[in-house]
Amino acid sequence: MKIFLDTANVDEIRKAADLGLIDGVTTNPSLIAKEGKNFKERIQEICAIVPGDISAETIATDWEGMVREGRELATWAPNVVVKAPCTPDGLRACKILSDQGINVNVTLVFSTTQGLLASKNGAYFISPFVGRLDDIGLDGMELVRDLVEVIENYGFRTQVLAASIRTPNHVIAAAKAGAHIATMPASVFNTLYKHPLTDIGMTRFLADWKTLPNYEEAIFPKRA
């Protein structure tokens, strides 16, 4: 499963990317607004840090506007993926942009039928919002499972991008559901490698190691 960071904060992105584990980044208007920086410059900055797919969202609500914006966004960097909402206009824009070879991430997907339609119109990614479905008492991960099954049934090129991930358990469930990608905030990503027993184990190993005579020279002996 690919791991994407769901943020427009370059410090968070650099730190996580340095571990070699970040395959892409998703942004949305809320995340861009939070940073208070120039949209184009920030997207280009992120595209230069992470060579994988970087989602940048259209703002228009009509399909002509989305297509116009999508064509422009796609010129900002070769790894930009244009995000469009799962509305009738967004689906129409997805078809037009996809037919022109522009990768589209259909976002705000909350049902299997929405995901099916986006896949039929050539979506590169579909983004089911797991956390927001959980928030209203539904099972967001069930949608991820259904979408993976539908895509496999028909051999769509679309990848399921599990979005609105809120906890490490969401990440595990997305991987078990066969999601192609999970996008998550840095706060969730940074919990994935942590375990108290790893920290305790390290402390004990180092303490024991230091009981050896000349432990500092054990690997790189000083030359006489």
Which of the residues 160 through 189 are near ligand E4P (CB under 6 A)? 163-164, 183
With CB under 6 A as the contact rule, the residue among 127, 143, 170, 173 that binds ligand E4P is 127
Crossing angle between the packed helical segments 39-49 and 63-76, to the nearest 10 degrees: 50
Question: Which segments of the chain does DSSP mark as H helices, in order?
Answer: 10-17, 29-35, 39-49, 63-76, 88-99, 112-120, 130-135, 140-154, 168-177, 186-189, 196-209
Residue 131: CB atoms within 10 A of its CB come to 15
Shortest Å distance, C-beta 131 to ligand E4P: 5
* Cα–Cα distance, 117 to 67 (Å, whole number): 18
**Nearer Cβ to ligand E4P, position 6 or 146?**
6
Q: How far is the CB of 31 from ligand E4P (least distance, A)?
A: 6
Nearer to ligand E4P, 144 or 213 (CB): 144
Cα–Cα distance between 40 and 135 in angstroms, integer? 32
Answer for which of 49, 132, 167, 168 binds ligand E4P (CB under 6 A) is 132
| Piece of 35-43, 63-71, 127-135, 202-210 that binds ligand E4P (CB under 6 A) | 127-135
How many residues would you count in the chain? Answer: 224
Active-site amino acid positions? 83
Site string for ligand E4P, 54-93 (x = CB under 6 A): ----------------------------------------
**Residue 60 corresponds to which tokens in the numbers above?**
């228009």
Told to check if 147 binds ligand E4P by CB under 6 A, we report: no
Q: Which stretch binds ligand E4P (CB under 6 A): 68-76, 109-117, 124-132, 191-199?
A: 124-132
Can you give 10-29 as a three-state secondary structure string? HHHHHHHHCCCCCCEEECCH
Among 12, 22, 25, 28, binds ligand E4P (CB under 6 A): 28
Helix (H, G, I), strand (E, B) or coil at 65: helix
Choice between 143 and 203, CB closer to ligand E4P: 143
CB atoms within 10 A of CB 210: 9
Q: Interface with ligand E4P by CB under 6 A: which residues? A: 6, 26, 28, 107, 127, 129, 131-132, 163-164, 183
